[in-house]
Amino acid sequence: DAGVTQSPTHLIKTRGQHVTLRCSPISGHKSVSWYQQVLGQGPQFIFQYYEKEERGRGNFPDRFSARQFPNYSSELNVNALLLGDSALYLCASSPVPNSPLHFGNGTRLTVT
Amino acid sequence: GESVGLHLPTLSVQEGDNSIINCAYSNSASDYFIWYKQESGKGPQFIIDIRSNMDKRQGQRVTVLLNKTVKHLSLQIAATQPGDSAVYFCAENTGGFKTIFGAGTRLFVKA
């Protein structure tokens, strides 16, 4: 079975630009979560979607938004990029909330 | 805000020895705890989990212990192998839609 897939794997953007990151969950998983991981730190929770509705949001500015599609795939959007947004963005899926997360290998975003 | 912390940022063990990675959590309402392993260039990988109605749970070479009185979680790895070298994260969930990760402990296994 395919695991969680994320695209692109790497991305370089300029300050002020917009970025869209994509995630396909494991087949049958209805919950998708997004995390930001800065080098040397643990993943920081951004969003969780379940059954296409936002169910949880972390302490991130409104520049960050996401959505989940009818096929349970998801997009994370970040507007007005800042240098500090440079990080590894991880997507995780699970069958239901409050169960083990299955992570993709992330999208490495560099903002210059 | 909520946080899950770790006692030791780095742990070095000899191959074949047992490893113990500790974690303190801050939210007494958390009822689900998970350990993840992250290797370089990869996303975190699920190792083992435990619900708050249990004190101990065993898997293959791994054991998780939960002490709710002092809000402490530990991961024990038996007969540590070079392939166990990675960063280990504990994480907590309060039964809702947010899993909070700690900062991580890097485990080095010496051959």
Cβ burial of A15 (10 Å; 0-12, 13-18, 19+) is exposed
Smallest Cα–Cα separation from A88: which of A73, A75, A105, A103? A105
Where is average pLDDT lowest: A52-56, A101-105, B74-78?
A: A52-56
CB contact under 8 A, B103 and A41: yes
Three-state DSSP at A83 gives helix
What pLDDT does A110 receive?
Answer: 98
Contact A73/A24 with Cβ under 8 angstroms? yes
What pLDDT does B43 receive?
Answer: 96
Task: Give me A38's structure tokens.
Answer: 């800065």
Tell me which residue has tokens 């969780």.
A48
What pLDDT does A98 receive?
Answer: 87
* Residue A8: cis peptide before it, omega within 30 degrees of 0: yes
Residue A21 sits at φ, ψ, to 5 deg, of: -110, 145
What pLDDT does B2 receive?
Answer: 39
| Interface contact A90, partner B, CB < 8 A | yes
Residues 6 or more apart whose CB falls under 8 angstroms from that of B96 comprise: A55, A56, A97, A98
What pLDDT does B3 receive?
Answer: 44
Give the model confidence (pLDDT) of B21-73 as tens digits. 999 998 888 999 999 999 999 999 999 999 999 999 999 999 999 999 999 99
Give the model confidence (pLDDT) of B59-96 as tens digits. 999 999 999 999 999 999 999 999 999 999 999 998 77
Q: How far apart are the CA of B54 and the nearest CA of chain A, in angstroms?
A: 16
What pLDDT does A88 receive?
Answer: 97
Which whole number is the average pLDDT over A79-96?
A: 97
Q: Which of B43, B96, B99 sits opposite A106 (nearest CB)?
A: B43
Q: Which of B89, B93, B101 sits opposite A98 (nearest CB)?
A: B93
* Shortest CA distance from B35: residue in chain A: A100
What pLDDT does B99 receive?
Answer: 93
Q: How far apart are the CA of A14 and the nearest CA of chain B, in angstroms?
A: 23
Question: Which residues of A fall within a CB distance of 8 Å from B97?
Answer: 48, 50, 55-56, 97-98
Question: Which residues of B fall within a CB distance of 8 Å from A24?
Answer: none
Tell me which residue has tokens 């699970």.
A94
What pLDDT does A1 receive?
Answer: 59
pLDDT band at A69 (very low <50, low <70, confident <90, very high): very high
Q: Is B95 left (phi over 0), alpha (psi -120 to 50) or beta?
A: left
Tell me the C-alpha distance between A31 and A52, whole Å.
8
Tell me the C-alpha distance between B87 and B13, whole Å.
14
